Homo-oligomer: A and B are copies of this chain.
């Protein structure tokens, strides 16, 4: 986790590192994050850790149960649906806006992004590839210059990562690179309608690859099942 440096880490830094760990599926839904443990790992006081955990709970990445601690969230099937419904409302329109403002620098950035994603897959790091794939979507909101939507999308992408961890059908193949390439093409030619349609289709594509039937996914212990 490369936190060898003894430099003073802020709550923000710790939140970012934990976020990466969850996005890359090194921390799986249901995992508990003890405050002492985290504070030992990062070498900071519990005060700071609590700030970080609380921030991540607001984003939906963690769930804090009173007097019990912080856990990586386990989105229900309903929440999984809601996440992709919300994305379907926000992202296509945002892609359209982005197409009207995309610069050559943006294109270069996006293409580098896709390249890194490929490299991660080649190196057998599907978690990293997934994280980069999420960042790609955030990048489009940034290009559209819509900070408010970008903020929401950040949360939705986070939750999508959890949903994928729980409900993804086949773990090996996430062959979305074509969709991302096509999107970059649409952005490059400032074709808003195409970008909007492509994004819409892309989201439906991901959505359709989720297994929405299974109800007791994950390592749900008997205790957890009985708790609620």
Taking Cβ atoms with an 8 Å cutoff, the residues of A that contact B are: 51, 54-55, 58, 78-79, 82-83, 85-86, 89-90, 93, 146-149, 152, 156, 159
Contacts and interface: CB of A to CB of B under 8 A. Distances in A.
Contact of A149 (B55, B58, B82): B82
Contact of A86 (B55, B58, B148): B148
Given A58-B58, A82-B146, A85-B146, 12 more contacts: A54-B55, A82-B147, A82-B148, A83-B148, A85-B148, A85-B149, A86-B90, A86-B146, A86-B148, A89-B89, A89-B149, A152-B152
A156 B148 CA distance: 9
Nearest to A150: B82
Report the copy number of this chain in the oligomer.
2
27 contacts: A51-B54, A54-B54, A54-B55, A55-B58, A58-B58, A78-B147, A79-B148, A82-B146, A82-B147, A82-B148, A82-B149, A83-B148, A85-B146, A85-B148, A85-B149, A86-B90, A86-B146, A86-B148, A86-B149, A86-B152, A89-B89, A89-B93, A89-B149, A90-B90, A148-B156, A148-B159, A152-B152
A135 to B, nearest CB: 20
Contacts of A78: 147
Contacts of A152: 86, 152
A79 B89 CA distance: 19
A79 B55 CA distance: 22
A99 to B, nearest CB: 16
A147 B55 CA distance: 19
Nearest to A79: B148
Across the A-B interface, the 10 shortest Cβ-Cβ residue pairs = A82-B148, A58-B58, A86-B148, A152-B152, A89-B89, A86-B149, A89-B93, A89-B90, A82-B146, A83-B148
